Structure 1
Amino acid sequence: MFLSELLPVKEAFRVIDENQVRMGVEEIDLDDAYHRVLAEDIISRFDSPPFDRSAMDGYAVRAEDTFGSSPENPITLRVVDSIGAGDVSGAETARGEAVRIATGAPIPEGADAVVMEEYTILSGDEIRVIRPVSPGENIAPRGEDIGAGERILKAGTLLRPPEIALAASAGHGRVKVYRKPSVRIIVTGNELVDPSGDLEPGKIPNSNRYTLKALVESAGGVPDVLHCGDDLEGVKDEIRRAADEYDAVITTGGTAISKGDVVVDAVKDLGEVLFHGVAVRPGKPVAFGMVNHKPVFMLSGYPVAAMVQFDVFARYYLMRMQYPEYRHRTVRRTCTGKVASAPGRTEYLRARATDEMVEPVRSRGSGIIRSMVESNAYIFLDENKEGISEGEECDVILFDSMII
């Protein structure tokens, strides 16, 4: 189905969801697991901690031996052994005895508490305890964090440093994760040239080449960039090759709705254009199709429009290829100024957000790259929303929340 009329944004997402492709699974070292997404549940192999361990540097004791102690009435205990982290003690702590112990070391037999070092006075092979402890005090019991056989992480979990620490504590040095999608980026335009060279008349620097590469990386993809001219057959050849060799294809340029531009025509010839033109601002000429069962996102050649189209549609798709639960998340902020908006289209306004407020960036042109630099969020205006009043709460999508 090819739709030439402007689609509502919700309908565009419906079409995208109906054609969502998921990535396969690979097993990787935990060293490489940061910001990858689990493809299976993680079951703990061990209790963590695997034994009762000291939570403090001090002395392992029988708690009852310390009852009644104070600075004025210290209780004397004999030190019979010393345990460092990673060591064990063969001594059994008897009545009137103590074992010097380091944080993380296993509690010796007979002991049921740890006196912090600062509440003791060492003299030869004896200590004077000046503060009592209760049974279990300053001890992390076996399995306090996780138990052997417990499901500690669910499939679909994004692995941040805390999740990686938990997996390691549970005895896993390798994990199964969704593969990162490989993405061919095809930047079209005869006018585009390397930014490091001199500009000839009619030429402009090829900023999209670098922008889209970074955007794909921020969405967890593995990009490969190509610059192609505005020749239909040449564009078709590159898209055909990309659909054979990569998991997804993103193009920029050649998507104008007012005429048959080469990229959209190329995808129509090779596969199916599922929509061309969305009621969104900026970036209404965005298109989406499938070639050889691979998604093809056709973005505007205007840099800001391409960035917004990527964030709204292509990022959503790439993230869900490897992170099935991903959704754009909105937060509420108070708008510092009045914003006008026409009903019937969804707007993603560049803005600068703080913890409580959001200020619209006034430069809205699709070619004003600086407006993106000045922004850290989008103000999201639904198609039924007719602007925002100063001081009104509004929905905001933070840039940081979209990065995998």
Structure 2
Amino acid sequence: MNSLEPPSTVGRRVSSNLMLHTRTKFFNALSLDQAKGRLEALMEDPRFKPSRETVPVKEALGRVLADDVRSRSDSPPCRVAAMDGIMVRAEDTYQASLSNPVRLRLDSQTRLVDTGQPLFDEFDAVIRIEDVKLEARIAEVVAPVVPGQYVREAGEDVRRGQPLFNSGRTLRPADLGLLLAGGHTQVTVIKRPSVALIPVGSELTEPGREGGQGRMIEFNSTMLAGYIRQWGGEVKSPGIVPDDEGAIADALCKSLREDIVVFIAGSSKGRSDLVPSIIEQHGTILFHGVNIMPGRPIVLGKVQGRPVVGLPGYPVSALVDLDLFVKPMIFRLQGLKVPERPKAKAWLSTKIPSKLGVMEFVRVSLRREGEKLVALPLARGAGNLSSWVNADALLRIPEDLEGLPAGSKVEVELLG
């Protein structure tokens, strides 16, 4: 996305008392489909498109190709030996046998060669070193060879001009090797989407620092940053921002140079949840609240053309919302579709109650019982990160159901 100048009003420090009197209660939850529709409309903005950059091939692992790529050279570039041994003229060996070995003089009738070394023009075959007896600069050959034996021809792997990869490919380690073999040292890729990740909370402290009573270790940003990088994005973080409207607005101002701005916490409707009102002051609220569990108190807005997301502070809520609403933007900015999670059929081990009108994402572990795959529900609290870590899959309970009975056959989404 193109860089935009932040508005002059962003970052203006406002009295917290004034804010408490004037902020609006935006919380009006949409269905997941409605919220997804508004996200899709945001991503249709012409400015919301991939950017390109050229990087060294050696640094391109995991990057997405911006263009189709053809080989610039043959690989191998010339005839080379496929084995250690001697290079020979095949016709000089046609009479060779165990009873009548052919003796060839080194440096005139034959030459030593190592794997990968070019063949001299006058030679057309290679004999493995273990099949040759060398003595006093004479190579004794006991079997005939044919032209091309143990020889790799020029362009055997890749020919000059041959298509190597199509645009949109995510480069793997072997791909880098093929690019280099094909004569490329630089490659044009999609620029990594940059995500500003801003943890909010006066109660937060950095890991490893003295917390004290009432202080919470800030771990959400590290966890969420890992997923963002896994999806191809890069993360910029200013560190912890206190529950202060001016400080949050300053952080927003400084982050508008990034493609996506994500606040962690401060997105609900409590006294210290300031993110929605700040987005509304300096931009537009697209939605605030989605009827899902966990993850209901999410806000999505737009400031100066930039998408701004406010995630809930509870870790599992933040994970669910990051996956549902930030992940699609990261993939869109790389010109990619979000890959679907693999799915499996399973049978519920126990009854799961659920609230009507809310889509619930239930963490489950999986185990085999005979030929059946059984899903066992785990702790459902939005703050229970350990149950996410121990989960094998997610089970979606649609909003039009009040739960599922024990023994139900369900479809689960496998977690990687």
Q: Same fold (TM over 0.5)?
A: yes
Paired position in structure 2 for 1:16 = 39
Decide whether aligned partners of structure 1 residues 277 and 131 sit closer, same or farther in structure 2, where only a CA change above 3 A counts.
Answer: farther
| 1:188-267 map, 5 Å | 188-219=200-231, 220-243=233-256, 245-256=257-268, 261-267=273-279
How big is each residue's C-alpha offset from its partner over 1:263-286, in whole Å with a ceiling of 9 and x where there is no partner?
Answer: 122212222222333344421222
Letter in 1 for 2:181: S
Paired position in structure 2 for 1:33 = 60
Answer whether contact 1:216 1:223 (CA < 8 A) is retained. Answer: no
Deviates more, 1:384-393 or 1:307-316: 384-393
Structure 1 residue 105 displacement after superposition: 1.3
Unaligned runs of 5+ in 2: 1-25
Which of 159, 180, 186 pairs up with 1:147? 159
Letter in 2 for 1:19: L
Distance 1:18 1:77 in 2: 79
Structure 1 residue 103 displacement after superposition: 0.7
Partner SS state of residue 15, structure 1: helix
Deviates more, 1:233-242 or 1:262-271: 233-242
Letter in 2 for 1:16: L
Structure 1 residue 307 displacement after superposition: 2.2
Paired position in structure 1 for 2:83 = 56
Distance 1:3 1:62 in 2: 84
Decide whether aligned partners of structure 1 residues 238 and 25 sit closer, same or farther in structure 2, where only a CA change above 3 A counts.
Answer: same
Structure 1 residue 299 displacement after superposition: 0.8
Structure 1 residue 348 displacement after superposition: 6.1
Answer whether contact 2:106 2:139 (CA < 8 A) is retained. Answer: no
Answer whether contact 1:333 1:358 (CA < 8 A) is retained. Answer: no
Paired position in structure 1 for 2:20 = none
Answer whether contact 1:76 1:128 (CA < 8 A) is retained. Answer: yes
Letter in 1 for 2:255: A
Structure 1 residue 352 displacement after superposition: 7.2
Structure 1 residue 293 displacement after superposition: 0.8
Paired position in structure 1 for 2:9 = none
Answer whether contact 2:126 2:149 (CA < 8 A) is retained. Answer: yes
How big is each residue's C-alpha offset from its partner over 1:110-148, in whole Å with a ceiling of 9 and x where there is no partner?
Answer: 433322222222233333334544432322221122111
Paired position in structure 1 for 2:394 = 379
Paired position in structure 1 for 2:102 = 76
Distance 2:405 2:74 in 1: 54
Partner SS state of residue 261, structure 2: strand
The answer to whether 1:128 aligns with 2:152 is no
Distance 1:212 1:55 in 2: 48
Letter in 2 for 1:175: V
The answer to whether 1:4 aligns with 2:28 is yes
Paired position in structure 1 for 2:329 = 317
The answer to whether 1:328 aligns with 2:339 is yes
The answer to whether 1:42 aligns with 2:69 is yes
Structure 1 residue 346 displacement after superposition: 5.6
Letter in 2 for 1:18: A
Distance 1:135 1:281 in 2: 71
Answer whether contact 1:221 1:318 (CA < 8 A) is retained. Answer: no
Partner SS state of residue 228, structure 1: coil
Letter in 2 for 1:329: E
How big is each residue's C-alpha offset from its partner over 1:20-76, in whole Å with a ceiling of 9 and x where there is no partner?
Answer: 323422222223222222222323221111112111112223445545756x44632
How big is each residue's C-alpha offset from its partner over 1:339-359, in whole Å with a ceiling of 9 and x where there is no partner?
Answer: 7475862626365799x9796
Paired position in structure 2 for 1:396 = 413
How big is each residue's C-alpha offset from its partner over 1:289-332, in whole Å with a ceiling of 9 and x where there is no partner?
Answer: 211111112111001221232233313322332x2124233224
Letter in 2 for 1:349: R
Which of 349, 362, 372 pairs up with 2:363? 349
Answer whether contact 2:86 2:110 (CA < 8 A) is retained. Answer: yes
Q: Following TM superposition, where does structure 1 have runs of at least 4 consecutive aligned residues deviating by more than 6 angstroms?
A: 257-260, 356-359, 388-393
How does the TM-score come out when normalised to structure 2? 0.77
Answer whether contact 1:361 1:371 (CA < 8 A) is retained. Answer: no
Paired position in structure 1 for 2:19 = none
Deviates more, 1:101-110 or 1:385-394: 385-394
Decide whether aligned partners of structure 1 residues 150 and 337 sit closer, same or farther in structure 2, where only a CA change above 3 A counts.
Answer: same
Letter in 2 for 1:231: D
Distance 1:239 1:231 in 2: 12
Decide whether aligned partners of structure 1 residues 151 and 101 sit closer, same or farther in structure 2, where only a CA change above 3 A counts.
Answer: same
Deviates more, 1:190-199 or 1:24-33: 190-199
Letter in 2 for 1:235: I
Paired position in structure 2 for 1:84 = none
Partner SS state of residue 325, structure 2: helix
Answer whether contact 1:184 1:226 (CA < 8 A) is retained. Answer: no
Root-mean-square deviation (CA), in Å? 3.6
Structure 1 residue 373 displacement after superposition: 3.4
Letter in 2 for 1:180: R
Decide whether aligned partners of structure 1 residues 150 and 16 sit closer, same or farther in structure 2, where only a CA change above 3 A counts.
Answer: farther
